[in-house]
Structures are given as C-alpha cells and as structure tokens.
Amino acid sequence: MKPKLQRTFSPTPDDIDRSWYVVDASGAPLGRLASEIAKVLRGKNKPTFAPHFDGGDYVVVVNAQKVQITGRKSTEKMYYHHSGYPGGLRADSFERMRDLYPERLIETAVRGMLPKNKLGRQTIKKLKVYPGTEHPHAAQSPEPLEFGYRKIEA
C-alpha cells in the first residue's frame, strides 16, 4: 500500500477572507509603519500566504499628517518626481510633503516595499490613507491594528 502524497497548498480566490484594519499613524516612525502595513497588505501575516497570490487585507491609515521620522531626515530627506518634460525634475522636502500631501508619504513608503509588478500594483489599491482622523470606511467596520514599534515622543 502506497502512502498518500500531500500536495502543496496553493490558495485560490475562494480561499481568501479579506479583513479591514485601521492604523493610527500619529507619532509612528514612517519606515517601521510602512513595513508592517506592507506585510498586512501582502498577506504575509496569514498561514495561507503565497508569493504569487494577493491574499492580503485592506488597511486604512488615519492621522498620516502626524507620522514622524528620526534624526535630521525631516529637513534633509527629499522626494523627487519628474514631469516627463526636459528639465522637469521636481524635489520636495519631507516637511513640505507632510504639510501639502501627507497621504503620499505613507503611500510612497509602502509602495517601495511591495513587488514591482502587477501583484504590487494590485496590492497597493487596498491601502487607504487619510491625513486626519476621519475616514469613509466605517461601513466595513475595520478593526484597530497595533504594531510592536515604539512611538516617537513629540
């Protein structure tokens, strides 16, 4: 009698149960926050994780305007983007970005930690970032998500 072979589990869309989480970014270090959010978006915190499959959860980030970074990065860190035209390189400091576009800070940091392919583009759509405490996703009843990082005292 031959032993029964066990096959490697590969998730399908029917196996996925997506949850909604809300994260408070006030006083949190940007890099540590982004890496934890990227793990949840990819589904690496679930036992059904597969690198070729988007099995992650939705994440709503509130208080993006109060995110912190350590050291002198608040004045020295620059964000670059190009318009596509000759001489169209633009640069903004961290402080200016936090004042004008606080959502982009977290979106950019998380996007850099996701795969650079179709899977990453599909995964980043599950991230919702808001500068204040209000968000329009109360109907999904998101659960609060806490991480083990240390809050920076302002």
Sorted by where each starts, the structural domains of the chain and their CATH numbers stand as 20-127+134-144 (3.90.1180.10)
Distance (Å, rounded) from C-alpha 90 to C-alpha 102?
A: 17
Residue 147 binned pLDDT confidence (cut-offs 50, 70, 90): confident
- pLDDT tens readout for residues 16-36: 999 999 999 999 999 999 999
Distance (Å, rounded) from C-alpha 80 to C-alpha 45?
A: 32
Give the pLDDT score at 7. 86
Which residues face 90 on adjacent strands? 81
Residue 154 binned pLDDT confidence (cut-offs 50, 70, 90): low
Over residues 106-132, mean pLDDT: 97
Give pTM, 2 decimals. 0.90
Check pLDDT > 70 for residue 153. no
For residues 82 and 147, the model is more confident at 82
Over residues 82-103, mean pLDDT: 96
Distance (Å, rounded) from C-alpha 23 to C-alpha 3?
A: 47
Average pLDDT of the chain? 93
Measured N-to-C along each axis, helices 102-111 and 30-42 cross at an angle, to the nearest 10 degrees, of 60
Give the pLDDT score at 125. 98
DSSP 48: T
- pLDDT tens readout for residues 29-88: 999 999 999 999 999 999 999 999 999 999 999 999 999 999 999 889 999 999 999 999
